Amino acid sequence: MSFRRIRIVVLLGLLFATASLTWLEQYIARGWKGPLVVELVPINGDRSAAAAETIAALKADDFSDIGDFLEREAARYGVQSGTALKLTVEPALAAHPPAPPQGGNVLATMAWSLKLRWWVYRQSGQWLPEIGTVKLYVLYHAPEDGRGLAHSLGLQKGLIGVVHAYASPRQARQNNIVIAHELLHTLGATDKYGPEGYPVYPDGVADTTLPEDAPQRAAEIMAGRYLTPGGQLTMPASLAQCVIGAKTAREINLDGAFARQYAH
């Protein structure tokens, strides 16, 4: 066999192995046969004292409302799986993940995605990947008036989330909304808001029985915001004020009965 053919066989083998691994990790994560396993890795995003103090005090219970949210919404769609989330807080990491490219260049985005997955693999310190485990890298930043945070993201391939959060106890509940949003991205959920941040009707609103411009009392998690009676676009106070809408439930394979019900 020529070197060229050997190279083609090796490349095809790698592609097959990568595709199989991606399918397997999604099957495990989106099967809802048991708790979704999540490793949350805190990072001092701005190397501030406030972020360091917040990270030092973190514990798994700080994120319990994410599990409560998933269990409540899973039960609403007929899934009775007991504990929905098994989240552990890993030791803080000094290294920062590679920053995503600016603009919408597809090739640059693909290259960055591969670079991020390689970075995650290197940080794990393990020879084999942890199949089916979602890894969320949460970069904490000291709150600063007039300064927003970088855009958070979640990748379905690799089950990786990179979340930017505020290092403030007052922001903990809203941080968890962002974490839950990116967590669902890793399971295949898509954003439900438009260019201006307004929820896309009807998939991006909590109560689809109301007219498009009617005020809401809660937010669809993948929209992240809702319209108040005063017509203002606002973020919910906590995950208790968020729901998983019908389209998001289908995207994350919340349960087979739901998928069959809406197949037509």
pLDDT tens digits, 71-84: 999 989 887 667 88
Statement: residue 24 has pLDDT above 70: no
For the record, the structure tokens of 14 come out as 């790698």
Name the strand (E) or helix (H) holding 49: helix 49-56
Is the predicted pLDDT of residue 257 greater than 50, yes or no? Answer: no
Residue 7 has a pLDDT of 58
Report the SS3 class of residue 146: coil
Domain with CATH 3.40.390 in the chain: 19-188
218, with CB counted inside 10 A (0-12, 13-18, 19+), is: middle
Instruction: Pull the structure tokens for residue 79.
Output: 């899934």
Pick the more confident residue, 17 or 180. Answer: 180
Q: What percent of the chain has pLDDT over 70?
A: 83
On the question of pLDDT at 33 being above 60, the answer is: yes
Percent of the chain with pLDDT over 90: 61
Cα angle value 208/227/246 (rounded, 5°) = 30
- pLDDT tens digit string along 207-223? 999 999 899 999 999 99
Tokens (6 digits) for 52: 């360091």
Task: Give the CATH class of 19-188.
Answer: alpha beta
| 206 has pLDDT over 70 | yes
Q: Beta partners for 233? A: 227
Q: Which residues of 7-35 are buried (b: 16+ CB within 10 A; e: fewer)?
A: eeeeeeeeeeeeeeeeeebbebbbebeeb
Give the length of the chain.
Answer: 264
Using left for φ > 0, alpha for ψ between -120 and 50, and beta otherwise, residue 82 falls in left
- Between the alpha carbon of residue 89 and those of residues 56, 59, 148, 161, the distances in Å are 11, 6, 25, 14
pLDDT at residue 8 is higher than 80: no
Hey, which of 105-119, 146-160, 192-206, 247-261 has the most confident mean pLDDT?
192-206
Mean pLDDT, rounded, of the chain: 86
Helices 172-186 & 64-76, crossing angle to 10 degrees?
50
Do 193 and 200 contact (CB within 8 A), yes or no?
Answer: yes
